[in-house]
Structure 1
Amino acid sequence: MFAIFMTFFTLGWFSFGGPAAHIGYFRQTFVEKRQWLSDSEYAHIVALSQFLPGPGSSQVGFALGYRRGGLPGACMAFLGFTLPSVLIMLALAMLSSRLTELSWFESVVHGLKLLAVVVVIDATWGMFRNFCQRRLTVCLCAITAMALMIAPGIATQMTMLILAMLIGAHWLKTADVADTRPAFRPTLWPLLLFLLLFIGLPLLLSTGPDPLPAASLFSDFFQAGSLVFGGGHVVLPLLQSLIGDQLTDNTFLTGYAAAQAVPGPMFTFATYLGYALLPASPILGALLATLAVFLPGFLLLLTVLTHWQTLAAYPRVAGALQGINAAVVGLLLSALYQPVFTGAVLNGLDAALVVAGLLLLKQWKLPILWLVTGFMLAGWIQGLLS
């Protein structure tokens, strides 16, 4: 368990760049380097995370930990990957906006965003080679990427994934064999707990006496985490509609800016807000909000994860997964363009650093920690010269 925790804890300190970059870091670490699972198994996990509400990249990490060490391993993976971001967001909440306004901090973050471009390029190319080997899968990848580049948004993403699933189920299904598989049965206890917290807790709070502030805070963030499809950026309008009248716009925007500047999942935006929403016990508020916003996605993942491989063995389901895998590559390709590339590469020097990073990663096999150090230094020097 400690080894799982330390592996994800190390990743959590330099996983800049958002969900697409996190998927790239995970693939490089657990598929290529440590070989915990195959590329196909990893793609199944990524595809599953795209269909469930919650923090997609954190769900992938949670599932990787589950495969390695069961539920305790999943919890260690989540704790390790999320803890660095939570600690930084707590520190930023205490220091307010002073650190995020420092020019050297912005320069270092810019260098790490360039590293995220390198990682996402590597992940996209590696997954393309594995899952786009047929003319139809190449087309699904390209059409998905083009659709999201033209009309970015969760509606387009879900539409393309569903279309790819239907096309794959019909034209990419595997040969039918004698059916000796057990029936697919979801795990009920996480689903029941999810429904209890999603429906029962708000009803209890609305019909009972004045609720404790901590209970209301937990319920609000659990509701937000239950409705977020499409990554951390989507959580902003949901949280603003749920608790926006309790905080100033400046607090919201400062926390949101900080969440984009630190490594790890953007859902730790909840850490910053929870600290401000429970002034009597700010640390408790931060931890409750963080747990509540992540928990729905993990409960829904546990509902289907145990027997996911059984379901994936059915011919039509296997074909649907081939289609979804190709579409996921298209999602990564579109994310590589926007926001990863457009948000990081601002000039020719930035582009040159990305090319250098690809050379060091793919040809010289430089360890990722050395790349992190180098890109932080490059960003700092670039800031001094500008």
Structure 2
Amino acid sequence: MRRLWGIFLVSLKLGCTSFGGPTAHLGYFQNEYVQKRKWLPDKEYSQLVGLSQFLPGPASSQVGMGIGLLRGGLLGSIVSFLGFTLPSVLLLMAFAYFSAHTGLDMGWVHGLKLVAVAIVAQAIFEMSKKLIPSIRHFIIALLALAVVLLWVHPLAQVTTIIVASFIGYLFFKLTNQREEPKETIVPISKITGICFLALYVLLLIGLPIASPFIQYEWFMLIEKFYLSGALVFGGGHVVLPLLEAQFVQSGLMNSSDFLAGYGMTQVVPGPLFTFASYIGMVIAGVPGAIIATIAIFLPAFLLIVGAMPFWLTLNRIAGLRGAMAGANAAVVGILTAAFIHPIVTQTIQNGLDIVIAATFLWCLIRWKVQPYLLVLIGICVGLICY
């Protein structure tokens, strides 16, 4: 019990102080878990980071879950997740409550949306450098962009990712080689891992099939958030278009509330996936926020726990690596589509908006201003200019 409490407190500290997105989170983790506390060696940590980037889901959260698993078993993985996620969940729930009782038609909210324009543009820029290494990857991204813009449907993004994964399996399996890591001792058996992976697949297939027959709000939330969390490749920002398709396009919430919440997500520490907590709070109050948070992180938990006993084997499957490469290329196009609509089309209203958004983007790319600082600047600009 003392070890579990220690895992929770360390992860809670990281959850309160880890600003800057997934890449920055991994740096915080390396400093805290590897250098300071010596919970695992550098090579083992690098292997765990490689696994989290190989799987769909929020990379930093999965690394935290994996470290908790190695340190304290399944319960260690759960308490590590709770500590890292709880601060941002509570902050975003409070923001959703505040927004509902004060209204979102104030100038600072527009400043928040302009920050979201800049942050998503930077995410596309950085992701394209890593995930679009060839003309074939670019073609997949371009086709994904076209499909999602032209086929306005909640399943458009999911279908595009699945098709792109199949294309990647066919064309990239011999061109995406990786260095094989050394075996890591994992405190769960391969049979347990298989059970977790099977549950991941069962829910991924079963929830959409059962959804039309179970007309309850909580089940609808579970299905939509689980599906979004299960198919996120390439970084936390990719959850934006998936959630937009599930909740804005379906009419469950309006675009203004959605973009304001996404902008506020940038200012809180912890994982970007806690944007789901805000959405759940807006739609169904505190129970909705709890359900949304659990549902969107559940696929990441099932995958990291299920895959860790098989990491060396998975890494040798060239076709699987190729499928991930195809999916990653597609998500660049999907995120670009979300950037065009609704982010740009419903935020940029005049020349001043263009100038401010471009300035924010310059601050991110050229001056490396942290997103949470930019959010605070955006709120101030919104109060002054709007």
1:329 aligns with 2:337: no
* Separation in 1, partners of 2:200, 2:173: 35
- Residues paired across the two proteins, number: 316
Residue 300 of structure 2 corresponds to which residue in structure 1? Answer: 301
Question: 1:211 maps to what in 2?
Answer: none
Report the structure number with the largest CA radius of gyration: 1
Q: Structure 1's 374 and 271: CA in aligned 2 closer, same or farther, altered over 3 A?
A: closer
Contact 1:47 1:328 in 2 (8 A): no
Question: CA contact under 8 A between 1:148 and 1:156: conserved in structure 2?
Answer: yes
Alignment partner of 1:314 is 2:324: no
Contact in 1 for aligned 2:253/2:283 (Cα 8 Å): no
**CA offset at residue 124 of structure 1?**
0.9
Q: Structure 1: any 5+ residue segments left out of the alignment?
A: 13-24, 50-58, 207-215, 241-251, 276-285
Q: 1:153 to 1:163 in 2, by over 3 A?
A: same
Determine if the alignment matches structure 1 residue 29 to structure 2 residue 27: no
Q: CA deviation at 1:163?
A: 1.9
Partner residue, 2:271 = none
Superposed CA offset, 1:316-346 (max 9, x none)? 0011111111111111211211122222221
Per the TM alignment, residue 146 of structure 1 is displaced from its structure 2 partner at its CA by 1.8
What is the CA-CA distance between 1:173 and the residue it aligns to?
Answer: 0.5
Match of 2:289 in 1: 290
Shift of 1:169: 0.9
In the TM superposition, what is the alpha-carbon distance from 1:267 to its structure 2 partner?
A: 4.3
Instruction: For structure 2, list consecutive stretches of 5 or more residues without a partner in the other structure.
Output: 1-7, 32-44, 70-76, 184-188, 232-240, 266-274
**Structure 2 residue identity aligned to 1:48:** P
- Per-residue CA deviations over 1:294-323 (Å, capped at 9, x if unaligned) read 323333332222316453541100111111
TM-score (norm 1): 0.65
Partner residue of 1:268 out of 278, 297, 304 = 278
Checking the alignment, whether the CA contact within 8 Å between 1:62 and 1:75 is kept in structure 2 is no
Which residue in 1 is equivalent to 2:93?
86
Supply the distance in 2 between the matched residues of 1:142 and 1:349 (Cα, whole angstroms). 30
Distance 1:322 1:259, change over 3 A: closer
Mark the CA change 1:331 to 1:218 in structure 2 (over 3 Å): closer, same or farther. closer
- CA distance, structure 2, for counterparts of residue 148 and residue 189 of structure 1: 31
Question: Is structure 2 residue 350 aligned with structure 1 residue 347?
Answer: yes
Any idea what SS the aligned residue of 1:137 has?
helix
Q: Following the alignment from structure 1 to structure 2, what is the Cα–Cα distance between the partners of residues 225 and 43?
A: 23
1-structure distance, mates of 2:82, 2:194: 17
Q: Tell me the alpha carbon deviations over residues 213-269 of structure 1, each in whole angstroms, 9 at most, x when there is no partner.
A: xxx9866754665566864445559999xxxxxxxxxxx869x96565333314434
Paired position in structure 1 for 2:359 = 356
Residue in structure 2 matched with residue 65 of structure 1 by the alignment:
64
1:305 aligned partner, one-letter code: I
DSSP-derived class of the 2:56 partner? helix
> Per-residue displacement from partner, 1:343-367 (whole Å, max 9, x unpaired)?
2221111111122112222222233
Query: Normalising by structure 2, what TM-score?
Result: 0.65
> 2:111·2:383 contact (CA, 8 Å) conserved in 1?
yes
How far apart in 1 are the matches of 2:151 and 2:348?
22
Residue 377 of structure 1 is matched in structure 2 by 380
Question: What amino acid is aligned across from residue 125 of structure 2 in structure 1?
Answer: W
Residue 155 of structure 2 corresponds to 155
Bigger mean CA offset, 108-117 vs 151-160: 151-160
Assess, with a 3 A threshold, how the Cα gap between structure 1 residues 109 and 187 changes in structure 2: closer, same or farther: farther
Kindly indicate whether residue 72 of structure 2 is the aligned counterpart of residue 77 of structure 1: no
C-alpha distance in 2 between matches for 1:193 and 1:44: 16
Give RMSD over aligned pairs: 4.3
Name the CA distance, whole Å, in 2 between partners of 1:148 and 1:224.
Answer: 18
Bigger shift: residues 224-233 or 365-374 = 224-233
Is the 2:118–2:360 Cα contact (8 Å) retained in structure 1? Answer: yes
Residue pair 2:140, 2:326 contacting (<8 A) in 1 also: yes
Residues 271, 26 of structure 1: alpha-carbon distance in 2 compared, 3 angstrom cutoff: same
Q: How does 1:1-386 map to 2 (within 5 A)?
A: 1-2=8-9, 4-9=11-16, 26-27=21-22, 29-30=24-25, 45=53, 48-49=56-57, 59=58, 62-67=61-66, 69-70=68-69, 71=77, 72-92=79-99, 95=101, 99-100=102-103, 103=105, 106-174=106-174, 186=193, 188=195, 222=222, 225-226=225-226, 231-233=242-244, 236=247, 258=257, 260-262=259-261, 263-264=264-265, 265-272=275-282, 274-275=284-285, 286=286, 288-306=287-305, 307=307, 309-310=311-312, 311-383=314-386
